[in-house]
Chains A and B, each alone.
Chain A
Amino acid sequence: MLSIKHLSAGVDGKAILKGIDLEVRAGEVHAVMGPNGSGKSTLAHILAGRDGYTVTDGEVRYMGRDLLGMEIEERARQGVFLAMQYPVELPGVNNMTFLRESMNAIRKSRGEEEMDAVSFMKLVREKARQVKLDEKLLKRSVNTGFSGGEKKRNEILQMAVLEPFLAILDETDSGLDIDALRNVADGVNRLRSPHRAMIVVTHYQRLLDYLEPDHVHVLAGGRIVRSGGKELALELEAKGYGWLLEEVAA
């Protein structure tokens, strides 16, 4: 589904990613871990198409297409979803309306009918219940004045409604209380299917306990320095990154 080859990229001449290789097949869940500043969000942003990064080498293919050549919205419409580390506030833009516009834009691009208001409302209510997002938040402006945890839940709600093929979650678990963490994990698990894949960026083992990723990768200094199964995460939890970085350096 997603194939990243020797991806190198940076900002203003500063190299951040230095040759990333990553294969994500449909049905898989990949966890990406790694120290602060190692380039995890940068990778996520580049996959989503955010401006400001320069790709200096490598390529990314998504469902057989050249992902890096696609516009941001085009990627979204093709099923790439990024749950952001810092969800953005849109004052005055109704949360429900935003989600509906989003869904309809995606459906329209696929030649599908727009969903009528009533069915849409029903769908969102149901999903909101699943991710335990307070319904009042649906009526407020997107993320505006939401608590940190509410913002993250709202991202998960959007994901649940939009049902992307490739979901990238950038530290969606950070700053969540234990119940919320559970809801996020449930949200991800519910979306799991042989047609979908997920890349979950996290610092914590706890989320991975619920998610049971197929693969765990460690990103450090802009490179994937180690990949393994879910036990790699346990090892990191126990020992930290120091040993790994030393091993890589050696």
Chain B
Amino acid sequence: MGSSNTAVEALMGKGYAQGFVTQIESDTLPPGLDEAVIRTISSRKEEPAWMLEKRLAAYHHWLTLREPNWAAVRHPPIDFQAISYFSSPKKRPQLGSLDEVAPELLATYEKLGIPIEEQKALAGVAVDAVFDSVSVATTFRVTLAEAGVIFCSMSEAIREYPELVRRYMGSVVPHKDNFFAALNSAVFSDGTFVYIPKGVNCPMELSTYFRINEAKTGQFERTLIVAEERSRVSYLEGCTAPMRDENQLHAAVVELVALEDAQIKYATVQNWYPGDSEGRGGIYNFVTKRGECRGDRSHISWTQVETGSAVTWKYPGCILRGRDTVGEFYSVAVTKGRQQADTGTKMIHLGENSRSTVVSKGISAMFGSNAYRGLVRVAAKAENARNHSQCDSLLIGDRCAAHTFPYIEVKNPTARVEHEATTSKVSEDQLFYCRQRGLSQEDAVSMIINGFCKQVFNELPMEFAVEAQKLLAVSLEGAVG
């Protein structure tokens, strides 16, 4: 009992305060959540009144909710009063120079072509005041501005583009959606806002890498992407480098809105700290992600590679409201050590001829537990809706677990819904075969696993796919043999 209490404390970021560095000290509120805290957050961020009202409404609703317990994961109860709701969530030590940054991290940044000043910012190196102007001048900002694309922090968006934020925020994931969405709506720290105007094909991949702001990896991020008619955008989120973060609850909300003929691709590579091999520490990743294909023929595609976090609870979904809309979900989720993941998708077919594809690859190693939970709902009006779901599980060793929970609700007789599930193991035969051809055991395992995940990796932009493969290899190091 004693030990699990410590775990909770560790997890909920005791010692959070002590890590705090001078500059941001004044911005840190003591742990606890009440109306005053929310008012303080809103005023510190200089938000308009309507935003505060939204937050308060969410907070009051949240008070009526209980933490969900239906997921196939176990963790000690979270004490929501033990969390500080306004602070720079990254307590990485400020480093003197890039020389102090882990070389792998730098290599990753370099591969991604991140300018040196931004590398510094990302790695937590103290950045001088010049940086901001340098960053603003970087070419991508100019390119985006020329195309009319808005790409900024949520705080900035609330100030600069209030009409857009007001119109779309909460329109896909209302605060009433679920416990964590309500909490996020009340206390979200920051996040990203993207707006692609009509007919614009966003001239570059957008990535959180490229948007520097302090709250980048906030505990309660809020992301909103709006793609106007006939526009296209591809967005990458996450960090592929192993970040040894402190324990924390990560309850983000991501909303996507695709209007007529618009296309949004959203890719995540998530590698938060998974905790140690005994299951101590690590991130609780409770995220609500949903996209709405609001306009006819719009298309939303989620791709996720989830290798980190102690507990993952997330179901990126698509509401296929328009006719001929397409929703896709490609996922690789890895659990090893004591990691637990309950993840999957929701495909809600409302429009005629709406189509959805689900490809889920779960990999469990050691004591990892991996559940796919997928909902496919076809509403009465959704003539000719189609879904194909494929859920494959790969087990490494015999102490891990994989579960599949498909929920299918069909209210229209013309619907075609197919669900396939397989479970396989990395076999001795395969390892022997690879090693007989000269590959090391580790290379053999990573090759087999990458093969297993190929369909999903194919959906990632090239450099990201390479990173994801390496990440997988790193995260499964020592899991076999």
Contacts and interface: CB of A to CB of B under 8 A. Distances in A.
Given A51-B428, A88-B429, A105-B443, A93 B448 contact: yes
A105 B453 CA distance: 23
**A interface, how many residues as a size bin?**
20 to 34
A101 interface: yes
Contacts of A86: 429
Interface in B409-467: 427-430, 432-441, 443, 447-448, 450-455
B437 A102 contact: yes
A92 B430 contact: no
Interface stretch (A1-9, A55-63, A72-80): A72-80
A50 B428 CA distance: 9
A141 B458 CA distance: 14
Contacts of A91: 451-452
Contacts of B440: 73, 105
A106 interface: yes
A76 B437 contact: yes
Given A50-B432, A72-B432, A84-B433, A92 B452 contact: yes
Interface in A119-169: 141, 158, 162
A62 to B, nearest CB: 14
B439 A102 contact: yes
A31 interface: no
Contact of B450 (A82, A93, A109): A93
B438 A90 contact: no
Contact of A73 (B438, B454, B455): B438
A87 interface: yes
A98 interface: yes
A208 to B, nearest CB: 25
Contacts of B451: 90-93, 141
Contacts of B434: 90, 98
A17 interface: no
Which 3 residue pairs across A and B have the least CB separation, nearest first?
A92-B451, A93-B451, A92-B454
Given A49-B436, A84-B433, A88-B429, 12 more contacts: A49-B435, A72-B435, A73-B436, A87-B433, A89-B430, A90-B448, A90-B451, A92-B450, A92-B452, A93-B450, A98-B437, A141-B451
13 contacts: A72-B432, A75-B436, A88-B433, A90-B433, A90-B434, A92-B450, A92-B451, A93-B451, A102-B439, A103-B438, A105-B439, A105-B443, A162-B437
